[in-house]
Structure 1
Amino acid sequence: MKKLILICLVLFLGTVAFATLEISRAQGGVEVTTDSILKLRAGPGTRYEDLGRIPAGTTLIAFARDEQTGWVKVEFEGKAGWVNVAFISFKGNLRALPIGDAAPPAGQAPTGGIGGATPTPPNSTGAPQNGQIESMTLYAQTDRVDYYNIVYYSDGLRIAGFYAEPRSPGKYPAVIYNRGGNRGTGALQGYEFAPFAEMGFVVAASQYRGGPGSEGADQLGGGDVNDVLALIPLLKSRGQVDPSRIAMFGSSRGALMTYIALRKLGERGSSDIKVAATTSALTDLFMWAKERPDLNGGAYLELVGATTSGNPAAFRARSATYWAGLIRVPLLIQHGDADTVVSVEQSKALGAALKRTGRSYKLIIQAFGDHGLFTHDEGYPETMKWFQQYIGRSGDNWDYYYWKDAILNAIGKLRKNW
């Protein structure tokens, strides 16, 4: 009888201890939600053992973090493990979490996460950091600008991209240029961002994972957004960049990447991006599926791994109309009313959502504008006026029409070079 009482007491105390642990975690933790299917790792890095998969849209409590706040510790289906901050949304301050200890995997060193998107040199183990440049090859020069092919790191993947900087020494504003398309479709050819470069900006642009020359798989606004975020520490590591004047621009799918990147930066309390502009923005994947019914059985399934009805959380996480209030950067939205690829109604819906939340934005509907806004100089004149308003300084001349001849000459040269 005494033995039975002792066993019951042990079980009771164990239950109380477990419940207390769970309550303390919830009270001291941060609620996080996975943006896509996510691996649960045994430690804070991609070289740790894979403990399982967490479905997209799963809400968990994070109760510890690594030193860089690039990974957080959660519990899923009875297993405690680590997830990469780049692939989650969260409510609360991750940096307030206690630092959890995790021994490195045998014979290996863990790779870090994105952390706060600040420049970091290679660590003592030699593991590549997000934004670290592996190679940089000059492919063209104009009178004013050097143009480079680059390969840089993002989540341990080698990502292809482009970099352009003025040939004259000095500190310059910078812009992250986010391309449209997916995988090889719409891939950059090395001239698309020339207007920014020729007007005096340092430019960084990504082909994204799964694109030409890049490792990994395109996820249409999933983990590939980290390839955009990694360009921030890349730019900050360059001596010619004024880190107080970094902008972001995206067109079509690149606008979707811009919106998600801005949301993630806002959630982390980062002010690295001072202003942003988009054209012909892919804003709501549910609306786009109605405009193009072929997407659910095609590109959505291939890139997101689901349909809008099968995993709506994954598509909400990629659709800015659902979380417009989380975009805290002054935003210019341009869209043509004759766009047959992405309806102007998507940008109108985002504009309405931004207005409801009191965010700083401007919506311009370009009359007779197609998807490329080619009859409106691709939206550059208005974009430069918007950038001037927020990061321009005395002496800057960002009048697109003043530079237009030089820009067209540069584009012609870059096309031939390519």
Structure 2
Amino acid sequence: MPVTRHLIKRGDGAAVELFQARATDTAPTGAILFVHGNQGGLLLGAKELVDNGALLRFSSRLNITTAAVSQPGFGGSDGPADFCGPKTQQSIIAAIRFLREQPSVDPDRIVLYGNSRGAVAAAMVAAQVRDLRAIILSSGVYDLKEVFETSPRGIRQAIEHEAGLSTEAFRARSALHHAHDIRSEILLLHGRYDDRAPVAQAEAFSAALSDAGVSVDIRVFECGHRIPREESQSALRPFLQKVLVSGITRH
């Protein structure tokens, strides 16, 4: 089950890097699209999911297609970075479109999985692509302005440099204000002691989604920003089994 690298095009012609591992089944299967986090300045992009084995691990265990997309300015994707903003969101949407065109993928069973910075952007995409099978958001911020002042200095500088500090810039990166546009089932994963993305962010977003009639499940773990894999798996396994393997229809 080899991993292949693709350079696809965003609507404005910018290159978007994507890595893909295909299922062994000949019939179309579900798919997961991963969106990486900040990566501590390494700028590996989607290759991080290849290097750490996540792409092949999820693909082989669930016998599905998996893919990972590099945000603008990361990996082989054209920049500049815009801190989870419209260009990042458009890159993710381009990756979803690419997956839907693959013969190995059932277009009605695509799950979007964003982590940290990737969760900020993936949550915003959920408000625009309303027919995804499900969304998984791990350690995300859903009201960026609310946490800006208490964020670490490096994150504040990145937000100011990449996005600016206007009301419009914050709103374009804050899915809490767009919960009423989301229709896909959502699983929220968060650490109780997260010092970058306070757990109150996930709790408030969960409440807003529930009020909007969205099927949402929130799982809070006794950890910080990085959720240990062995802990997150306890929530991921049954959720992915339900939405990708069992054939349960969309809510």
Superposition TM-score, scaled by structure 1 size: 0.53
CA distance in 2, matches of 1:252, 1:171: 30
Deviation at 1:370, TM superposition (A): 2.5
Q: Larger relative contact order (C-alpha < 8 A, sep ≥ 6)? A: 2
Structure 2 unmatched ranges of 5 or more: none
Say whether the 8 Å CA contact 2:30–2:64 is kept in structure 1: yes
More deviation in 188-197 or 148-157? 188-197
Q: 1:372 aligns with which of 226, 239, 248?
A: 226
1:298 equivalent to 2:157? Answer yes
Deviation at 1:168, TM superposition (A): 4.5
CA distance in 2, matches of 1:226, 1:161: 14
CA distance in 2, matches of 1:232, 1:165: 15
Code of the residue aligned with 1:180 in structure 2: it is G
Say whether the 8 Å CA contact 1:159–1:207 is kept in structure 2: yes
- Corresponding residue for 1:147? 3
Say whether the 8 Å CA contact 2:144–2:174 is kept in structure 1: yes
- Fraction of identical pairs, as percent: 23
- Residues paired across the two proteins, number: 239
Instruction: Please list, as runs of the form range in 1=range in 2, the aligned pairs for 1:104-123 lying within 5 A after superposition.
Output: none
CA distance in 2, matches of 1:169, 1:345: 44
Q: 2:201 aligns with which of 346, 355, 368?
A: 346
Say whether the 8 Å CA contact 1:184–1:212 is kept in structure 2: no
Where 2:200 maps in the other structure, the secondary structure is helix
- Corresponding residue for 1:389? 242
Instruction: Please list, as runs of the form range in 1=range in 2, the aligned pairs for 1:13-412 lying within 5 A after superposition.
Output: 145-155=1-11, 156-181=13-38, 184-185=42-43, 187-188=45-46, 189=48, 190=50, 191-199=53-61, 200-220=63-83, 221-266=85-130, 271=131, 273-292=132-151, 294=153, 298-304=157-163, 306-307=164-165, 311-366=166-221, 368-374=222-228, 376-377=229-230, 379-393=232-246
Say whether the 8 Å CA contact 2:192–2:224 is kept in structure 1: yes
Bigger fraction of residues in helix = 2
CA displacement, residues 293-320 of structure 1 (integer Å, 9 cap, x when unaligned): 626851112110x12xxx1121012111
Say whether the 8 Å CA contact 1:179–1:186 is kept in structure 2: no
The verdict on how the C-alpha distance between 1:293 and 1:172 changes in structure 2, with shifts beyond 3 A counting, is: closer
CA distance in 2, matches of 1:388, 1:335: 20
Say whether the 8 Å CA contact 2:44–2:75 is kept in structure 1: no
CA distance in 1, matches of 2:182, 2:241: 20
CA displacement, residues 169-192 of structure 1 (integer Å, 9 cap, x when unaligned): 332211111111177446332133
Where 2:113 maps in the other structure, the secondary structure is strand
Code of the residue aligned with 2:56 in structure 1: it is A
Say whether the 8 Å CA contact 1:154–1:226 is kept in structure 2: yes
CA distance in 2, matches of 1:236, 1:340: 36
Say whether the 8 Å CA contact 1:282–1:342 is kept in structure 2: yes
Deviation at 1:164, TM superposition (A): 0.7
Say whether the 8 Å CA contact 1:161–1:206 is kept in structure 2: yes
Measured on the aligned residues, the alpha-carbon RMSD in Å equals 2.1
Say whether the 8 Å CA contact 1:219–1:303 is kept in structure 2: yes
CA distance in 1, matches of 2:225, 2:55: 17
- Corresponding residue for 1:51? none
Where 2:128 maps in the other structure, the secondary structure is helix
Code of the residue aligned with 2:45 in structure 1: it is A
Deviation at 1:223, TM superposition (A): 1.5
Say whether the 8 Å CA contact 2:45–2:76 is kept in structure 1: no
Rg larger for: 1
Say whether the 8 Å CA contact 2:35–2:71 is kept in structure 1: no
Code of the residue aligned with 1:204 in structure 2: it is A
